Amino acid sequence: MFTDFSSFDLSRDGVRVHGRVGGQGAPLLLLHGHPQTHAIWHRTAPALAQHFTVVAVDLRGYGDSGRPQADAQHVRYSKREMALDALAAMHHHGFDRFGVLAHDRGARVAHRLAMDHPSAVERLMLLDIAPTLAMYQKTTEAFARAYWHWFFLIQPPPLPEALIEADPVRYVRSVMGARHAGLAPFAPEAMAEYERCIAIEGTAQGVCEDYRASATVDLEHDRSDVAAGRKLAQPLRVLWGEHGVVGRCFDVLALWRERALQVSGGTLPCGHYIPEEAPRELLAEALPFFLQRTDPGQRP
């Protein structure tokens, strides 16, 4: 799926960060969502690599990145820690300023990365999310029914982990297949990767800790930003699937305008899994947005 890309691994604070890099030009970081890996970009990364140096990373707990042991405060899986992993990956390739294109959980990491390290992120495009704090605060019955996994995965261990580990492939297929287009959008080789990685020892704990962090320590970080009046200053473009849950349950642009100074966006003709359901439409949005870069990417 990434024939012209090379794999890389690095260690940050003892946690493995795995990904692929390819292309040439200004640096662009790609971050995936749940329950997937960097393989979500297989339909868009080759085209992006014609214009950018593309770095696609597996989040900790997912793919072939590390799965650190959980801690009581869920700090090891906070979006702040995941953002530092992503930053380390970009520094590893010689970039300290870059664009970010991110989906789902990765978009939450990108939000934190841009807040904590504003000089590193020049512009960002977030796919099919509203701000985490707002989504919890404005949860409705319709949202809770559609995003049941948000509330299942945050339950205390070991029950969610045990249920996932009992049949990890079924978990992946159930979560992904329950969306707008079912399993049809996913290439067999991509599904094989998602199924392989969900079965790696420690993945169930990592996935649950990702969500537990979002319901605890990540909300503390978000509340701190709101209380201090901190907002994203970078150009932010948000896109969501017209057949997805996020746009149906939330006023996406209004919520992001509460958290960022320069916001634009709209819908794409798909459901939640934008990079795989609507790759051409996504590229039509991403290429002009990221080609507006004001600098070619600074090297440390």
Q: Is there a domain that residue 54 lies in?
A: yes
Assigned domain for 108 exists:
yes
User: Is the residue at 296 inside a domain?
Assistant: no
Task: Return left, alpha or beta for 265; rule: phi > 0 is left, psi -120 to 50 is alpha, else beta.
Answer: left
| Residue 299 confidence (pLDDT) | 38
pLDDT of residue 294: 52
Count how many domains the chain has: 1
Q: Is residue 142 part of a domain?
A: yes
pTM for the whole thing? 0.96
Contact indicator for 270, 239 with CB cutoff of 8 Å? no
Residue 295 resides in a domain = no
91-144 pLDDT, tens digit each: 999 999 999 999 999 999 999 999 999 999 999 999 999 999 999 999 999 999
Nearest to residue 82, comparing CAs of 245, 282, 63, 201? Answer: 63
Which residue range is the domain that position 38 belongs to? 6-290
pLDDT of residue 298: 42
pLDDT at 296: 46
CA quadruple 78, 172, 21, 260: dihedral positive or negative? Answer: negative
- Looking at residue 297, its pLDDT comes to 44
Report the catalytic residues: 104, 272
CATH of residue 25: 3.40.50.1820
Residues of the chain with pLDDT under 70: 293-300
Q: Is residue 1 part of a domain?
A: no
Backbone Cα Rg of the chain: 17
